[in-house]
Chains A and B, each alone.
Chain A
Amino acid sequence: MAQKSKAIVINEKDNVATAIVPLNAGTSVSLASQGHSGKIKLLSSIPMGHKFALAEIPKGTDVIKYGEAIGQTTASIARGEHVHVHNVVSHRGRKEGA
Chain B
Amino acid sequence: MEFMGYRRTNGKVGVRNHVLVIPSVVCSQGAAEAITRNVKGTIYLPNVFGCAQVGADREQTKRALAGFGTNPNIFAVLVVGNGCENLSAKELAEAIQPSGKRVEYIEIQEVGGTKKTTSKGRKIIKEMLADAAKLQREPIPVSELILGTECGGSDYTSGLGSNPSVGAASDLLVEGGGTVILSETTELIGAEHLLAKRARTPEIGKQVLDLIAWWETEAIRTGQDIRGANPAPGNIAGGITTLEEKSLGCIYKGGTKALEEVIQYAFPPTKKGLVLMDTPGHDIDQLTGMMAGGSQIAVFTTGRGTPTGSPIAPVIKITANAGTYKKMKDNIDINVSQVVQGKETVKEAGKRIFDEIIAVASGKLSKAEKLGQRDFCIFKIGLNF
Contacts and interface: CB of A to CB of B under 8 A. Distances in A.
A joins B in a complex:
yes
A91 B220 CA distance: 12
Contact of B225 (A20, A50, A83, A98): A98
B143 interface: no
B191 interface: yes
A80 interface: no
Contacts of B160: 8, 10, 18, 20
A93 B228 CA distance: 10
B135 interface: no
The secondary structure that dominates the B interface is helix
A16 to B, nearest CB: 9
B242 A70 contact: yes
The secondary structure that dominates the A interface is loop
Contacts of A24: none
A92 B246 CA distance: 12
A3 B342 contact: yes
Contacts of B245: 65-66, 70-71
A36 to B, nearest CB: 15
B238 interface: yes
Contacts of A88: 241-242
A10 B346 CA distance: 13
B210 interface: no
Given A68-B248, A84-B239, 9 more contacts: A1-B345, A2-B342, A3-B342, A8-B160, A63-B241, A68-B244, A92-B216, A93-B220, A94-B225
Interface of B: 155-157, 159-160, 186, 189-191, 194, 215-216, 219-220, 225-227, 230, 236, 238-239, 241-245, 248-249, 303, 340-343, 345
24 contacts: A2-B343, A3-B342, A18-B156, A49-B156, A49-B303, A68-B194, A68-B244, A69-B190, A69-B244, A70-B190, A71-B241, A71-B242, A71-B245, A84-B239, A85-B236, A88-B241, A90-B227, A92-B226, A93-B215, A93-B225, A93-B226, A93-B230, A95-B225, A98-B225
